[in-house]
Chains A and B, each alone.
Chain A
Amino acid sequence: MNRPARPPDPHTAPRRQYVTAPLVQSTRIGEDYRIMSFDVADAIAARPGQFLMIRGANWGAAPLLARPMSYLAGGPEPSILIRVVGEGTTRMACARPGDTFHLLGPLGNGWQPPLPHRRPLLVAGGVGVAPLLFLARALSEQGVRAVVAYGGRTDQDLPLCDELGHIADLHLSTEDGSRGTRGLVTELVEPLLGPDTQVCTCGPEPMMAKVAGLCAAHDVPCEASLETAMACGFGVCLGCAVPTGDADYLYACVDGPCVDARRVDWSRTGRTAPASAARRSPSS
């Protein structure tokens, strides 16, 4: 499929592009994870923390929607880290080099530049490591060695931890104790917090909620990369609403995905939270 004609826009340069790109390489990490890289030629390069929407060129009417994925790397051959969980990611995992995908990106705002005189502490859970490894690499290029707390259910759920170990001071945890400290990654965080720390976190929502709480308690700045269901990725469907403290919503795709964790009302987030509430009061 050809790229659609896009006449130059006198008002704004394009902030994102919709391209059809071949899969260059798919690398398997254990049963559940893949690193996939694409050739996007001269498309706009992504910054750490930004994301793309990806959909197989041969998907037809189902699965219908593109999948939001954080960039693992930017540049002319960007990559993503996927965890095989459903129909879309299963199809993606089966793709071979040369298969084509529609990519829309870069989307969202990415991580804020590091604050002066602050030590970055990155807190990752499972597949949430992708935008943080991208960030750790960027920091490393600037001569900053980040501290990383990285947790997963088992040692199979710590993809790319060796790569991370080369460029950061790594603290690992697994729930079953198969690697690193036994327990949750959030238990590693508190001892690592100092008065000059700044935290960037990405992972399951309960993990980020806990990290956000710890940072607030220690008066440490914290940025969280939000993940929600979304249909479009660029502020149109309004599906990716995240509750904020002022009883309103922010949109993960355009206000995030990286947001100041203090903006989020973590007590009202959680994919199952509203549904569970509904189940508790069936007559409401």
Chain B
Amino acid sequence: MTSQVVRIGSLELKNPVLTASGTFGYGLEYADFYDIAELGGICTKGLSLLPRSGNPPDRVCETPAGMLNAIGLANIGVEAFCAEKLPALQARGVTVIANIFATGAQEFAMLAQRLDQEPGVCALELNVSCPNVKSGGIQFGMNPELCGELTRAVRTVTSKPVWVKMSPEAPDVVAVARACEAAGAEAITAINTIRGMAIDPRTMSVRLANRTGGLSGPAIRPIGVRIVWDLVGALRIPVVGIGGIATANDALEYLLAGARAVQVGTANFADPAAAYRVAAGIRQYCGERGLSVEQIIGRARPDPGSGSPS
């Protein structure tokens, strides 16, 4: 079998398939369907210092080849995660990337400090791109300076790898990512959802109580692939590709564009075994061609050196 191992900065993953924050709960919800330790890793539901109950309903609606969500970062809080979820994940040997969310740099740093003490957490992913909360979230992700400062604030209080998750709505995503790279980010995740809206003609009202929600699913994949392509060409640090991946072929688009790993998101809802199937499909693709995953990363680029570890 060809090697499926990839390195994301200092972190080694057994394969390039992760699950996206907000679509995989705290991981254990999927243990009925397959051995979640067989994935490259999981990104947790966005964790905040205190539990959050989220937005009023309706929170989700289906759209063409996609869905809108405005969950509002409902989560059990970092302490409950560390006490109730993390030990079980560790016991199973799951590579855990803790996705964290806060309303300011200081709070982000407090979260990072707290998780720095947890050996079961392998990396931190900063959510600076949530479109569904009033403060924090996307305001950081739109602005290179703010995002760089935030990354630095977290970087200085943790020894764990810091990943930053990009909003596709930033006026210049490359500039935001470069600022994070300069501030010590080990990897860039792209993309988060894109704000959208849906209205029900029958009731003459907006479908989501929050009015707008984040669009995800296959509908956004071409946008994700394009942004990942641009980021890989501009950065020295690894890029983790996400956006509309439901099959191995979808994931391969990102890997061939130069992403060093991928995250499966919305597909986990419709098919609880989606991420497992994506990993198996990539393995098969590599096997049929006698190539390791490393050998296919960035292969579609005219400059195939991009996306290699620096």
Contact = CB atoms under 8 A, between A and B. Distances in A.
Contacts of A16: 32
Interface string A1-24: 000111101011011111000000
**Secondary structure of the B side of the interface?**
loop
Contact of A62 (B65, B269, B271): B65
A210 interface: no
A117 interface: no
Contact of B203 (A228, A236, A268, A272): A272
Contacts of A248: 53
A239 B59 contact: yes
**Secondary structure of the A side of the interface?**
loop
Given A4-B276, A64-B66, A229 B32 contact: no
B268 A241 contact: no
Given A61-B217, A274-B58, A234 B272 contact: yes
Interface of B: 22-25, 29-35, 53-62, 64-67, 69, 71, 74, 88, 200, 203-209, 211, 217-218, 246, 266, 268-273, 276-277
Given A5-B276, A274-B57, 19 more contacts: A9-B32, A55-B271, A61-B218, A104-B272, A229-B59, A231-B60, A231-B269, A232-B269, A236-B268, A239-B57, A239-B60, A240-B60, A248-B53, A268-B56, A269-B57, A271-B57, A275-B200, A275-B206, A278-B209
B67 A4 contact: no
A237 interface: yes
B33 A65 contact: no
B217 A64 contact: yes
Nearest to A232: B269
A63 B88 CA distance: 35
A235 interface: yes
Given A234-B272, A237-B69, A228 B58 contact: yes
A247 B32 CA distance: 32
Contacts of A235: 25, 29
A275 B60 contact: no
Contacts of A268: 56
Contacts of B200: 272, 275
B25 A236 contact: yes
A66 B270 contact: yes
Given A4-B277, A14-B32, A241 B74 contact: yes
A76 interface: no
A55 B69 contact: no
B277 A229 contact: no
A236 B54 contact: no
21 contacts: A4-B276, A11-B88, A12-B32, A55-B271, A61-B217, A64-B218, A236-B30, A237-B22, A239-B59, A241-B57, A243-B57, A248-B53, A269-B57, A271-B58, A271-B203, A274-B56, A275-B58, A275-B203, A275-B207, A278-B205, A278-B209
Contact of A243 (B56, B65, B276): B56
B271 A102 contact: yes
Nearest to A284: B211
Nearest to B246: A61
A104 B269 CA distance: 11
Nearest to B37: A7
A236 B23 contact: yes
B172 to A, nearest CB: 30
Contact of B62 (A63, A104, A232, A279): A63
Max chain B C-beta neighbours (<10 A), residue from A63, A240, A274:
A274
A82 interface: no
Contacts of A55: 270-271
A238 interface: yes
B203 A65 contact: no
A27 B22 CA distance: 38
A237 B64 contact: no
